[in-house]
């Protein structure tokens, strides 16, 4: 009986051993020369770079920068809230502390605007490494490129300047070592230890390692001392600034279905309205199912069952996570490519044989090995060409013009301090600009720093529920900073007599308590393009179009990439009857950043981390 069982247990075949590094080539296809893969790298780099221009109001970036500065100033990993007046001094669960330090150090060394290069570098590194993995799995660079393209297109709407990008990179690194059972598996504990201090997504990486090694054990391909490797990976995750809480807190948070923080837009399921959406998410699910059928039906599974089953398991896990929360959609996009790459290899191989059979003159392997990567490189270059390949892109990638930049300039110029009841997405920006001198009611740290009571009070104000004005007043706030695009609460607070106007511009309105001495006269803000933009807006509202035109032109002289000034300049020229000049100016605006649907980032401004009432 024991011998019979041993015979039934799957054993690695000689072919499986030959492909132990994870390659699943088609049976009739010769191995692709390594030089072919090298020809694809320019196309991979250009293509990945071109998907790094997602326009999104980067609300989390600012409190990460402020957090990194606070850590540098205090030189402590004992995290307590330094920025709010509602939870000041209380414990702050901060698994991303190392990301914050990197953000702050980068901004201090190279400038805040240069963080665009940080983002582009991580995107290119993540999906370039994924291309390498797909090529290793499928044995073909062309199909690896297509699978990588599908993965990055699914996740692109979520590519914000935030530590989550480290999770995408860490996930691909773990897959690159674990799936082919690399001889360098000893690197995994080091990867997880670093990842555990960058972003809480490291838990998924730990689970993937355990799952892949369990499948390899089932098929008799487990590496030597696999149990010690799993233990080392688990212990490495405890080496972080939060200790065991780094592992257990995210699990408790995700399992608390009654938590209002799970209603933050980025945590919503993809089938609920609001938040960021990926148009390719549902097609990617269909592609995952079809790829599985092709891999099983073509016999690819039989040639390497362990790798196929591991890919299926990783895809199913990330699919379930993405259905529960849309923030996991990029991880599913990456995972579904693990089956899509070999499935495309099978389909393309079959098509090639049919085409060559009917049109033998097309059987020119060397020509295609050069032509295809060149075509892909040109396509990637054409996608990339319209975008600003410099730090000027920072304004657009973070939607900086939707933040209260000039209002914070006024706060700094007049040394205004106190407590402010603020718009949720602006909290981190206030943290960064005032270094805690203007303490916020709430910011994007949500449940890691704030309790549910504070958050529910904010939701009452956001939804203008009964008694919302009393919530603002009794909070103890000295100021209210609110977007002008939502004028109703601003007007109601002013009419109540408890608050009076202190400052307003095209983005924000700043109110002060009526019983608080007003700093008069207010010191004007320093000369800047943002000041001229605000003055031009005020003149435009007053129908003083020649004055407005002068301010907008001056703003553009100081910051040629300031698109709002360009657009309002075109409107001003239109009001002055210079239509041809206005059209030329609009063309100039479009060339600054190719975003014909400028309203998209307004929708995404409440889609990244903004609560839903």
> What's the distance, Cα to Cα, between the start and end of the chain in Å?
64
Q: Compute the average pLDDT of residues 319-333.
A: 95
| Tens of pLDDT, residues 18-39 | 344 444 444 445 667 777 888 9
Cα 344–chain centre separation: 28
Residue 305 shares a structural domain with residue 369: yes
Confidence of residue 366 (pLDDT cuts 50, 70, 90): confident
**Claim to verify: residue 283 and residue 411 sit in the same structural domain:** no
Q: Say if residue 340 is in the same domain as residue 428.
A: no
Final residue before a domain boundary, out of 325, 353, 384: 384
State the Cα–Cα distance between residues 94 and 262, nearest whole angstrom.
18
Residue scoring higher pLDDT (86 or 516): 86
Residues 217 and 94 in one domain: yes
Tell whether 222 is covered by a domain.
yes
What is the H or E stretch that residue 503 is in?
strand 499-504
Residue 5 in domain: no
Task: Note whether residue 1 is domain-resident.
Answer: no
Query: Is 449 found in the same domain as 348?
Result: no
Paired sense of beta strands 418-422 and 479-483, if any: parallel
Task: For residues 360 and 407, state if they share a domain.
Answer: no
Q: What gap in Å lies between CA 444 and CA 261, rounded to an integer? A: 11
Number of domains in the chain: 3
Report the alpha-carbon distance of residue 441 to residue 420 in Å, rounded: 6
The region of weakest confidence among 18-32, 112-126, 137-151, 594-608 is: 594-608
pLDDT bin (cut points 50, 70, 90) of residue 166 is very high
- Per-residue confidence band for 5, with pLDDT thresholds at 50, 70 and 90: very low
pLDDT over 80 (residue 429): yes
pLDDT at 302: 83
Give the number of other CB atoms < 10 A from CB of residue 546. 9
Distances (CA, A) of 589 to 174, 266, 283, 562, 565: 42, 30, 34, 9, 9
Q: In angstroms, rounded to a whole number, what is the distance separating the alpha carbons of residues 56 and 370? A: 37
| Same domain, yes or no: 81 and 222 | yes
**Given strand 479-483, what is the order of strands in its sheet?**
438-440, 418-422, 479-483, 508-513, 499-504
Whether 85 is in a domain gets the answer: yes
Across the strands, what pairs with 440? 84, 420
What is the arithmetic mean of pLDDT over 469-477? 96
For 555, the domain range is 529-604
Residue carrying structure tokens 């890919």: 311
The predicted pLDDT at position 292 comes to 95
Give yes or no for a contact between 25 and 345, defined as CB atoms under 8 angstroms apart. Answer: yes
pTM here? Answer: 0.91
Question: What are the structure tokens assigned to 50, written together?
Answer: 């071109």
Band the pLDDT of 529: cuts 50, 70, 90: very high
The answer to whether residue 396 is domain-embedded is no
Q: For residue range 91-131, list pLDDT tens digits in order.
A: 999 999 999 999 999 999 999 999 999 999 999 999 999 99
- Based on the domain organization, do 433 and 576 belong to the same domain? no
Residues 93 and 195 in one domain: yes
- DSSP assignment, residue 31? P
Query: What tokens does 78 get?
Result: 């004992």
> Looking at the structure, do residues 491 and 587 belong to the same domain, yes or no?
no
Q: Which of 536, 596, 585, 538 is nearest to 560 (CA)?
A: 585
Residue 283: partners with Cβ closer than 8 Å, 6 or more residues away: none
pLDDT at 607: 42
Asked if residues 233 and 134 have their Cβ atoms less than 8 Å apart, the reply is no
Return d(Cα 206, Cα 583) in angstroms, integer: 55
d(CA 585, CA 597): 17
Residue after which a domain boundary falls, among 451, 481, 513: 513
Beta bridge partners of 483: 508
For residues 438-467, average pLDDT? 94
Q: Are strands 479-483 and 499-504 parallel, antiparallel or unpaired?
A: unpaired
Mean pLDDT score across all residues of the chain:
89
- 3-state class (DSSP) for residue 423: coil
Mean pLDDT of 489-514: 95
Contact 352, 369 (CB under 8 A): no
Residue 521 lies in a domain: no
Residue 31 in domain: no
- The three-state secondary structure class of 421 is strand
Rounded percentage of the chain residues whose pLDDT exceeds 70: 92
The reply to whether 238 and 303 lie within a common domain is: yes
Q: Quick one: pLDDT band at residue 3, thresholds 50, 70, 90?
A: very low
| CATH label of the domain that carries residue 578 | 1.25.40.10
**Residue 193 resides in a domain:** yes
* Residue where a domain terminates, one of 513, 544, 578: 513
437/581 same-domain check: no
Number of H helices and E strands in the chain, helices first, is 28, 5
Alpha carbon 516 to its chain's center: 41
φ, ψ of residue 508 in degrees (nearest 5): -135, 155
H helix or E strand, kind and range, residue 146: helix 141-155
* Interval 184-214: pLDDT, tens: 999 999 999 999 999 999 999 999 999 999 9
């Amino acid at each position: 009986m024991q011998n019979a069982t041993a015979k039934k247990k799957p054993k690695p075949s000689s072919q499986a051993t030959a492909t132990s590094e994870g390659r699943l080539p088609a049976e009739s296809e010769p191995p692709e020369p390594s030089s072919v893969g090298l020809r694809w790298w320019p196309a991979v780099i250009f293509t990945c770079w071109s998907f790094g221009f997602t326009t999104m109001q980067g609300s989390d970036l600012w409190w990460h920068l402020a957090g990194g500065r606070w850590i540098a100033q205090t030189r402590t990993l004992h995290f307590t809230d330094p920025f709010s007046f509602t939870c000041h001094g209380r414990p702050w669960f901060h698994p991303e502390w190392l990301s914050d330090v990197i953000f702050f150090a980068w901004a201090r060394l190279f400038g805040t605007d240069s963080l665009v290069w940080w983002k582009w570098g991580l995107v290119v590194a993540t999906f370039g490494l994924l291309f390498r993995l797909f090529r290793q799995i499928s044995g073909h660079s062309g199909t690896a490129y297509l699978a990588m393209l599908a993965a990055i297109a699914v996740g692109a709407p979520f590519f914000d300047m935030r530590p989550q990008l480290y999770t995408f990179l860490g996930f691909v690194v773990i897959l690159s070592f674990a799936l082919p059972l690399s001889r360098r598996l000893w690197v995994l504990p080091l990867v997880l230890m670093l990842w555990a201090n960058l972003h809480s997504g490291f838990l998924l990486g730990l689970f993937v390692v355990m799952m892949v090694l369990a499948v390899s054990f089932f098929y008799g391909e487990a590496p030597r001392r696999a149990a010690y490797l799993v233990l080392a990976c688990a212990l490495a995750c405890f080496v972080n600034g939060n200790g065991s809480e780094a592992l257990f807190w995210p699990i408790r948070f995700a399992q608390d279905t009654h938590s209002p923080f799970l209603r933050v837009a980025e945590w919503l399921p993809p089938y609920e309205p609001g938040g960021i959406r990926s148009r390719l998410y549902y097609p990617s699910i269909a592609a995952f199912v079809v790829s599985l059928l092709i891999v099983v039906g073509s016999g690819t599974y039989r040639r390497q069952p362990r790798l196929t089953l591991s890919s299926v398991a990783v895809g199913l896990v990330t699919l379930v996570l993405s259905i529960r929360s849309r923030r996991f959609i990029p991880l599913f996009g990456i995972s579904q490519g693990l089956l899509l790459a070999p499935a495309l290899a099978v389909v393309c191989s079959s098509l090639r044989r049919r085409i060559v059979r009917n049109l033998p003159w097309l059987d020119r392997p060397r020509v295609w090995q050069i032509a295809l990567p060149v075509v892909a490189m040109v396509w990637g270059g054409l996608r990339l060409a319209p975008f600003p390949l410099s730090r000027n892109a920072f304004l657009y990638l973070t939607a900086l013009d939707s933040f209260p930049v000039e209002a914070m300039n006024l706060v700094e110029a007049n040394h205004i301090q106190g407590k402010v009841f603020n718009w949720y997405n602006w909290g981190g920006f206030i943290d960064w600009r005032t270094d805690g001198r203007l303490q916020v009611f709430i910011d994007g740290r949500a449940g890691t720093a704030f309790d549910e009571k504070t958050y529910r009070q904010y939701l009452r104000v956001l939804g203008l529920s009964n008694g919302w004005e009393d919530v603002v007043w009794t909070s103890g706030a000295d100021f209210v900073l609110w977007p002008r695009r939502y004028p109703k609460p601003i007007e109601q607070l002013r009419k109540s007599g408890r608050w009076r106007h202190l400052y307003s511009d095209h983005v924000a309105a700043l109110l002060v308590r009526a019983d608080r001495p007003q700093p008069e006269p207010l010191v004007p803000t320093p000369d800047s393009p943002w000041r001229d933009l605000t003055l031009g807006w005020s003149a435009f509202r007053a129908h003083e179009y020649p004055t407005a035109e002068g301010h907008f032109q001056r703003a553009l002289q100081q910051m040629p990439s300031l698109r709002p000034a360009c657009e309002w300049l075109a409107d001003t020229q239109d009001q002055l009857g210079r239509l041809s000049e206005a059209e030329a100016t609009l063309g100039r605006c479009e060339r600054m950043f190719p975003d014909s649907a400028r309203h998209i980032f307004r929708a995404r401004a409440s889609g990244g981390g903004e609560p839903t009432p």
